């Protein structure tokens, strides 16, 4: 890839513009907030639509923007469970958490835990898991930034990781993200545009083309293609293909080949595409679910669905947003609007991923399927100015995806760290916490091998689903929960799932059922956490907090009964007016 082509420059400019626009919107928002006498109450007046935009903007991370299309390109219809699960997680949030959590008045999970169960210990444990989940979630974001920079400019990926971590931490530290709602909402619409436009153009090209997916053959290179392999890959070849391997022409017969990192492969136009191991080779297999003996299969799918469906409610940066709604009703409505916004986005992403198989098959060779969205514009429109412009738009969208999620995560981790660990409300400590919150995952991202973004995010969701989901669901709906039970359940679920994640991250996991469960532990760890929590709570029945009934009532009773403090403040205000 040539360094600093027109595409590269325009993409860099676009990414810089996104960062500047976010900072400007953020600082304007700060000014607005400061002119309002009561920042907190003002932030509670965020309406459902604006708040839904902010939540969607924060939620659609690099994994959603880049990763899902890449997985669809590689795994086909089986990968559709990722966007479905990411979206359905908000349904679980609507059903079980949104309104009661808003009414509880708590705005982080540790806060909720203490308000409900009156236990400092539980609060500390939850703090630890907020940090763990946040850092694990930041990992693919940083790597996504690295990949984006590498793909569009050719710079090494550590440059992108470091640069992006610095940008995000600096933005948070300088306070530009305080009016995070406006910024996030802006970034949602930017991301949506950056996916819908290329998807639409690609669909137009596809319809005018006579190509089809339904072929009993591997995909073909549309034209002469050069592939740079950046990590070691194992390729499956089903039909013999001519390849120029580091300048030497060879003929690959059917079988599997290991290509070392740093190699350069050249294929002629119309050549059959070798596909990375573990993915369906033929287009016809790619089209149907569970074709062949695909990795994971049914077990993996169900475990994934559980993790995504139940993990969303445990994400620290998502829960904070619901607190900015005026009341529980608005919180529910917000979550429903989020469902719609995510749906629109993921339909477009699905299109991009599927069409990438026609236009960007070389990604199947290099294994860098996460770059599918970034490369689609050039593949469809060519390398002219139109392709460069569209590429810049997409790069800006990827950058927005990365920025919004990372800053949301760093804000929530730093908030928890500064209040619960550094124990002071000083701004200086918050800034220190923000630096820590950004440095830890950066160090991790520079050392561990990169998983597919969606895979990595799936692991995070598994941890969230095994710890905070049981805590929230049982805490909201079951008066029998005790602090001991909650602690036991969170620890069991958290250690099991985090242990599995750690094993999976080492990359030394074999095949078989155990490997599937290590990669996707939710199927075991979520029921285990629920069970432990319920059993231990039943055994420690006497430790139920005395005010359980009042707290539960406040969570479930509609605001008009006047049981909640926030509502009171508002009504006092309107009475005084």
Minimum separation from the CB atom of position 328 to another protein (A):
8
Q: Which of 18, 88, 275, 472 binds another protein (CB under 8 A)?
A: 88
217 touches another protein by CB under 8 A: no
Size of the site for another protein (CB under 8 A): 60
Closest by CA position to 405, among listed 307, 321, 498: 321
Nearer to another protein among residue 178 and residue 567 (C-beta): 567
Name the phi and psi angles at 7, rounded to 5: -60, -45
303 touches another protein by CB under 8 A: no
Q: Which of 116, 317, 332, 484 binds another protein (CB under 8 A)?
A: 332
The region of 239-247, 293-301, 357-365, 442-450 touching another protein under the rule CB under 8 A is 293-301
Q: Which of 41, 155, 505, 557 binds another protein (CB under 8 A)?
A: 557
Cα distance between residue 423 and residue 279, in whole Å: 49
Minimum separation from the CB atom of position 184 to another protein (A):
21
The region of 7-15, 289-297, 391-399, 513-521 touching another protein under the rule CB under 8 A is 289-297
Give helix 372-381 / helix 385-416 axis angle, nearest 10°. 170
166 touches another protein by CB under 8 A: no
Q: Reduced to 3 states, what is the DSSP secondary structure of residue 225?
A: strand
Nearer to another protein among residue 254 and residue 562 (C-beta): 562
For 328, the enclosing helix (H) or strand (E) is helix 328-359
> For residues 465-484, which are near another protein according to CB under 8 A?
477
Pick left, alpha or beta for residue 239 (phi over 0 → left; psi -120 to 50 → alpha; otherwise beta). beta
For residues 540-564, one letter each, b for 16 or more C-beta atoms within 10 angstroms of the residue's C-beta and e for the rest, the string is beebbbeebeebbebbeeebeeebb
Angle among Cα 107, 399, 132 to the nearest 5 degrees reads 40
553 touches another protein by CB under 8 A: yes
Count of other CB atoms within 10 angstroms of residue 262: 11
> For residues 335-394, which are near another protein according to CB under 8 A?
335-336, 339-340, 342-344, 346-347, 350, 354
87 touches another protein by CB under 8 A: yes
Torsion over CA of 62, 65, 69 and 70, rounded to 10 degrees?
A: -20
Minimum separation from the CB atom of position 515 to another protein (A):
19
Using an 8 Å Cβ cutoff, are 460 and 133 in contact? Answer: yes
13 touches another protein by CB under 8 A: no
568 touches another protein by CB under 8 A: yes
294 touches another protein by CB under 8 A: no
Nearer to another protein among residue 258 and residue 546 (C-beta): 546
In terms of DSSP bridges, do strands 225-228 and 264-267 run parallel, antiparallel, or are they unpaired? antiparallel
Torsion over CA of 236, 379, 198 and 456, rounded to 10 degrees?
A: 30
550 touches another protein by CB under 8 A: yes
124 touches another protein by CB under 8 A: no
Residue 575: exposure state from Cβ atoms within 10 A (0-12, 13-18, ≥19): exposed
Minimum separation from the CB atom of position 563 to another protein (A):
6
84 touches another protein by CB under 8 A: yes
Pick left, alpha or beta for residue 88 (phi over 0 → left; psi -120 to 50 → alpha; otherwise beta). alpha
Nearer to another protein among residue 363 and residue 552 (C-beta): 552
102 touches another protein by CB under 8 A: no
Query: Which stretches of the chain bind another protein, using CB under 8 A?
Result: 77, 80-81, 84, 87-88, 90-92, 94-96, 99, 287-291, 297-298, 301-302, 305, 309, 329, 332-333, 335-336, 339-340, 342-344, 346-347, 350, 354, 477, 547, 549-550, 552-554, 556-565, 567-568, 571-572, 575
């Amino acid at each position: 890839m040539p360094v600093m082509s027109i595409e590269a420059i325009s993409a860099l400019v676009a990414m810089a513009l996104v960062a500047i626009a976010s900072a400007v919107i953020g600082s304007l928002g700060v000014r607005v907030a400061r002119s309002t006498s009561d920042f907190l109450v003002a932030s509670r007046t965020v309406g459902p639509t604006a708040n839904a935009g902010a939540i969607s903007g924060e939620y659609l991370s690099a994994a959603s923007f880049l990763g899902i299309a890449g997985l669809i390109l590689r795994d086909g219809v089986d990968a559709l469970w990722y966007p479905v699960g990411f979206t359905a997680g908000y349904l679980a949030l609507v059903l079980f958490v949104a309104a009661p959590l808003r009414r509880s008045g708590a705005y982080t999970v540790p806060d909720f835990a203490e308000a409900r169960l009156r236990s400092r210990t539980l609060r500390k444990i939850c703090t630890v898991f907020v940090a763990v989940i946040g850092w694990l979630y930041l990992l693919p974001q940083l790597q996504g930034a690295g990949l984006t920079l590498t793909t569009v400019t050719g710079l090494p990926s550590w440059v992108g990781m470091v640069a992006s971590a610095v940008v995000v931490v600096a933005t948070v530290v300088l306070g530009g993200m305080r009016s995070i709602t406006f910024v996030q909402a802006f970034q949602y619409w930017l991301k949506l545009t950056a996916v819908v436009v290329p998807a639409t153009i690609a669909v137009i090209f596809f319809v005018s083309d006579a190509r089809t997916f339904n072929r009993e053959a591997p995909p073909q290179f549309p034209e002469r293609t050069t592939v740079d392999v950046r990590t070691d890959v194992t390729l499956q070849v089903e039909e013999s293909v001519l390849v120029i391997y580091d300048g030497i022409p060879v003929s690959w017969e059917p079988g599997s080949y290991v290509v070392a990192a740093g190699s350069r492969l050249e294929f002629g136009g119309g050549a059959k595409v070798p596909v990375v191991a573990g993915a369906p080779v033929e287009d016809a297999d790619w089209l149907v679910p569970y074709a062949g003996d695909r990795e994971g299969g049914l077990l993996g799918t169900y475990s994934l669905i559980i993790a995504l469906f139940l993990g969303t409610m445990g994400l620290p940066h998502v829960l904070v947003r619901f607190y900015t709604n005026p009341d529980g009703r608005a919180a529910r409505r917000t979550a429903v609007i989020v469902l719609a916004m995510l749906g629109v986005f993921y339909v477009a992403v699905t299109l991009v991923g599927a069409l990438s198989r026609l236009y960007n098959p070389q990604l199947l060779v290099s294994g860098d399927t996460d770059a599918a969205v970034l490369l689609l514009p050039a593949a469809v429109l060519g390398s002219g100015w139109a392709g460069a412009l569209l590429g810049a738009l997409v790069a800006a969208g990827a950058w927005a995806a990365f920025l919004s999620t990372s800053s949301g995560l760093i804000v929530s981790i730093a908030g928890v760290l500064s209040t619960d660990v550094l124990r002071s409300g000083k701004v200086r400590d918050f800034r220190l916490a923000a630096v820590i919150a950004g440095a830890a995952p950066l160090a991790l991202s520079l050392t561990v091998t990169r998983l597919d973004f969606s895979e990595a995010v799936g692991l995070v969701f598994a941890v969230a689903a095994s710890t905070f989901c049981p805590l929230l669901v049982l805490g909201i709906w079951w008066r029998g929960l005790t602090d001991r039970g909650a602690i036991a359940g969170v620890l069991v679920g958290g250690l099991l799932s985090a242990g599995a994640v750690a094993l999976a991250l080492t990359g030394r996991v074999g095949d078989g059922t155990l490997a599937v469960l290590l990669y996707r532990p939710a199927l075991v760890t979520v029921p285990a956490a629920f069970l432990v929590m319920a059993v231990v709570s039943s055994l420690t029945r006497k430790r139920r907090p005395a005010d359980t009934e009042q707290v539960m009532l406040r969570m479930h009773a509609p605001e008009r009964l006047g049981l909640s403090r926030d509502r009171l403040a508002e009504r006092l205000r309107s009475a005084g007016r």
